[in-house]
């Protein structure tokens, strides 16, 4: 049986997984009786997600305005910035119990969207609605999130638009040592020499995208079905570059590495969504742009994967149920990524 969308009424206390203590914040969403099965609307105009280091001042202005409006929505509006951040907390910090069919939920097994094949699909849907909400708030249905191009030497620093303290894109809970010109450390190696870091990062990307995946689960993450204990095993990108970026930006002077370095708080930093847009891009690149001679098949066909479902509030604050099978193709979902070259493609170590 696939992992079922959680029952919002049963949302409970969440745990800070960095110190295993109960969290004193409530990260459960508003509840409602009306759940609609989501249908991806027909695509009239493809959205183009831009590389965050290359966007125009006009783009930054719009993005900032959208996030600012999101922060100003009523606190209990599910589209509010902090409600959106709490989605990550609820799905990742054990607030939801897994549903167990007729016998009801098994409290010993909480729902975890990391460290398994749910990682890419969950975060894709999360960003999808986040992007639509932002677009709606600025009346621009073509608005697309930027991606932090940390796999390319030109994008290996925190994108400048997130650094302006007066901007809605700013977050003060970040590692001071990771501010530009510091080069991102995708292997958490503590290498200080920027050129060596770049080389090491490209090698890591090559390994995660091409070399380290003997089968589809090596990239996507291990199977995770109803009744399984969480944390089956992450795929290569989730385990590697993805987690490193979280840790590298999270503030070591906060009690538990807030914001980006902790599941419950990660979504409070606008940079989270930009980081994850690149993670999402890695999935697309792996699916469509990487020669498949290394990985014999790139599709997971088990129904436990395809029929797994999640709940999100859409841009109209309607609660919707979405499935993994409806998010496997980003073009069908109405967005693509700016084409940037992939220097790691031939970075065989
Ligand atoms: Cu849900 Cu990057 O973590």
Strand 35-37 vs strand 319-323: parallel, antiparallel, or unpaired? parallel
For residue 151, give the nearest of 77, 244, 273 by alpha carbon: 244
Pocket lining: 132 vs ligand 1, CB cutoff 6 Å:
no
Please state the pTM of the whole predicted model. 0.96
Task: Find out whether the beta carbon of 242 lies less than 6 Å from any atom of ligand 1.
Answer: yes
Query: How far is C-alpha 294 from the geometric centre of its chain's CA atoms?
Result: 26
Residue 105 has pLDDT above 60, yes or no: no
| C-beta 246 within 6 A of ligand 1 | yes
Share of the chain above pLDDT 90, in %: 87
Q: Which whole-number Å values give the CA distances from 262 to 121, 247, 257, in the listed order?
A: 20, 8, 6
Please give the distance, rounded to the nearest whole angstrom, from the Cα atom of residue 92 to the centre of ligand 1.
8
- Residue 92 beta carbon below 6 angstroms from any ligand 1 atom: yes
Q: For the chain, give the mean pLDDT.
A: 94
- Tell me if 111 sits within 8 A of 3, measured CB to CB: yes
ipTM over cut 0.95: yes
pLDDT at 98: 77
Cα of 246 vs centre of ligand 1, distance in Å, is 8
97 lines ligand 1 (CB under 6 A): no
Query: Which residue is listed with tokens 């993994």?
Result: 324
- By annotation, the residues acting in catalysis are 88, 114, 123, 242, 246, 263, 276
CA distances from 349 to 168, 285, 321 (A): 40, 20, 43
CA–CA dist 196, 21 (Å, integer): 38
How does pLDDT run across 285-301, given as a tens digit for each residue?
999 888 766 666 789 99
Q: Residue 101: its pLDDT value, please?
A: 54
pLDDT tens digits along 213-271: 778 999 999 999 988 889 999 999 999 999 999 999 999 999 999 999 999 999 999 99
Residue nearest to atom 3 of ligand 1 (CA): 263
pLDDT of 99 over the 70 cut: no
Residue 205 backbone dihedrals phi, psi, to 5 degrees: -65, -40
Domains of the chain: 8-346 (1.10.1280.10)
Q: How far is CA 307 from the centre of its chain?
A: 20
Summarised one tens digit per residue, pLDDT across range 54-86 is 999 999 999 999 999 999 999 999 999 999 999
Instruction: Give distance in angstroms: CA of 186 to centre of ligand 1.
Output: 15
Cα separation, 282 vs 120, whole angstroms? 10
- Which atom, in ligand 1's list, is nearest to the CA of 92? 1
| pLDDT for 28 beyond 90 | yes
- Minimum-distance ligand 1 atom for the alpha carbon of 275: 2
Residues whose CB falls within 8 Å of the CB of residue 296, separated by 6 or more in sequence, listed in order: 215
Give the ligand 1 atom nearest the CA of 243: 2
């Amino acid at each position: 049986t696939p992992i079922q969308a959680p029952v919002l009424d049963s949302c409970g206390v969440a745990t800070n997984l960095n110190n295993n203590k109960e969290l004193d914040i409530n990260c459960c969403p508003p509840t409602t009786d009306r759940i609609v099965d989501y249908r991806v609307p027909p695509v009239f105009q493809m959205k183009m997600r831009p590389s965050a280091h290359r966007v125009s001042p006009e783009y930054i202005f719009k993005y900032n305005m959208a996030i600012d409006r999101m922060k100003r929505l009523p606190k209990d509006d599910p589209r509010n910035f902090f409600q959106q951040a709490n989605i990550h907390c609820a799905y990742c910090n054990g607030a939801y119990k897994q549903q167990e069919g007729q016998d009801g939920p098994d409290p010993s097994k909480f729902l975890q969207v990391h460290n398994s094949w749910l990682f890419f699909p969950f975060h894709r849907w999360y960003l999808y609605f986040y992007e639509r909400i932002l677009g709606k708030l600025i009346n621009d249905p073509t608005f697309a999130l930027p991606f932090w191009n940390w796999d390319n030497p030109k994008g290996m620093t925190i994108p400048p638009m997130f650094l302006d303290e007066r901007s809605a894109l700013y977050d003060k809970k970040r590692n001071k040592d990771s501010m530009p010109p510091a080069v991102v450390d995708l292997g958490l190696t503590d290498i200080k020499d920027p050129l060596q870091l770049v080389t090491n990062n490209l090698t890591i990307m090559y390994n995660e995208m091409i070399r380290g995946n003997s089968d589809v689960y090596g990239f996507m993450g291990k199977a995770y079905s109803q009744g399984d204990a969480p944390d089956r095993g992450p795929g290569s990108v989730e385990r590697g570059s993805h987690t490193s970026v979280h840790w590298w930006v999270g503030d070591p002077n906060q009690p538990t590495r807030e914001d980006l370095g902790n599941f419950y708080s990660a979504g409070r930093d606008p940079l989270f969504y930009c980081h994850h847009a690149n993670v999402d891009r890695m999935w697309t690149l792996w699916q469509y742009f990487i020669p498949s001679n290394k990985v014999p098949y790139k599709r997971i066909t088990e129904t436990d994967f395809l029929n797994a479902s999640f709940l999100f509030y859409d841009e109209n604050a309607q609660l919707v149920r979405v499935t993994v099978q409806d998010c496997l193709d980003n073009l069908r979902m109405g967005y693509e990524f700016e084409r940037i070259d992939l220097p790691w493609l031939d970075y065989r170590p």
